[in-house]
Amino acid sequence: MATSQEYWNELGKNSVLLNAMSNWRDDPELWFSKSVNRLPETVRVNYLREEWRWVEKWLLKIGAKKIDWFRDTQGSAWTLPFERGKAEGEIKSIISSLHRTGRITRQEAVSMIPTIALNVKPGEVVLDMCSSPGSKTTQIAENLQNKGLVIANEIANNRINTLVSNIQRHGNKTCMIIQHDGRHIPKIMDNGFDKILVDVPCTGSGTTRKNPEVWKKWLPSGSRSLHKLQVELLTKAINLTKPGGRIVYSTCSLDPVENEAVIAEILRNSPVEILSAENILKSIPYDEGYTVWPKLDDSGNKNNDLDLEKSMLPPTESFIIDSLKKCVRIWNDKIDGSGFFISILEKKIDVINNDIGKNSFLDKNTKPDPDNFPNPIGKELREMIVKHFGKCPENLWIRGKKISWSTDEAMR
């Protein structure tokens, strides 16, 4: 353990990331002091399960502490008295069982904040645009309280199995899983989604406490290579949101090119405004967003001669500069966890979504194959269920031999 920690320390001290940090903050050493040690194990308790009170009593018994700033209505979050993955003996077995049965979800604490910012209410229709492994999706489901719908999208084949597994173990009835390139998700719903979470692919420069590879691999050019994708994903999310709806953009990156630069480009071209987080993320320690940032080469040094696209540069428009100050920067040393960036956007209410409803998932004239796509159960199967069990819940869906239970919103 000591040797491993020394290795992490050396990686960090000689990293491009630490050099870059000296151009982003006046006190990079303070940031570094809270960016190397292992993260503690943190979990979320699922209040949709009847046993949640017992789970919380057990967590208290083993010395876990409630996370004070966690303010979700349908769950609680806890810091356990050991590092991630270091539980032993009976405690390890119980944690594994609780997670496997959906009573708790292992999730990094700072990763819970974007869903808090989304402020999901029961009955809403929500899109989690880049959802695997599903911890934020299940957090959204807990806030829906089994009323509404969250569509969990994941493009990568090697990640969607993890998403399916995590949603199934959670046991809620509000999740629907799709597989699309987020930039090309069809426009569904009459007016658009109520809320969309856009937790985009990023370089992960805020995740050094759980992933030492970041110290070795992170380069400013990596941020620039993802910038266009991040802009396109957020642009699509705004198009899919109903007027007056909320979009939360988040990354586990600290590089302004992946964060404030993306938001600035969005403000130039999309009908949204940034909401202040002051009354939304109460008790969570954060700094405001940057309005200026340097050009960095792949040594992490300032280089004003770099030829970057305009969308990656600090804004000159006064309304954008003022808006970026409402963005949320969560620093490792301020929250004693990982770093994160969050921007809470609201689509302007006077926008008309003329093309919502076009290009839906299915051609309305085509009957889907029941073996390849979920369909509401038919009369014959419903009568069979009533005969065997005495009653049949509403909104049952069938795909092949598998039956799922969903909500009214999934029928729309």
**Secondary structure string (H, E, C) spanning 325-392:** CCCEEECHHHHCCCCEEEEEEEECCCCCCCCCCCCCCCCCCCCCCCCCCCEECCHHHHHHHHHHHCCC
pLDDT, residue 397, reads 67
As given in the structure block, the two tokens for residue 362 are 């299915």
pLDDT, residue 390, reads 73
Q: pLDDT digit string (tens) for 84-126?
A: 999 999 999 999 999 999 999 999 999 999 999 999 999 999 9
| CA neighbor of 67 nearest in space, from 344, 287, 284 | 284
pLDDT, residue 367, reads 52
Say if CB 110 and CB 134 are below 8 A apart: no
H/E element, 16: helix 16-24
pLDDT, residue 282, reads 87
pLDDT, residue 1, reads 43
pLDDT, residue 71, reads 79
Cα 217 to Cα 208: distance, rounded to the nearest angstrom: 11
pLDDT, residue 375, reads 74
- pLDDT-flagged residues of the chain (< 50): 1-3, 357-366
pLDDT, residue 362, reads 44
Q: Which residues contact 184 (CB under 8 A, 6 or more apart)?
A: 236
Measure the CA angle with vertex 126, ends 120 and 131; round to 5°.
105
pLDDT, residue 363, reads 45
252 is catalytic: yes
Q: Which long-range contacts (CB under 8 A, 24 or more apart) does 391-395 make?
A: none
User: How, if at all, do strands 65-66 and 75-83 pair?
Assistant: antiparallel
Say if CB 203 and CB 255 are below 8 A apart: yes
H/E element, 324: helix 318-324
pLDDT, residue 388, reads 72
User: How, if at all, do strands 396-399 and 402-405 pair?
Assistant: antiparallel
Catalytic residue among 130, 252, 327, 392: 252
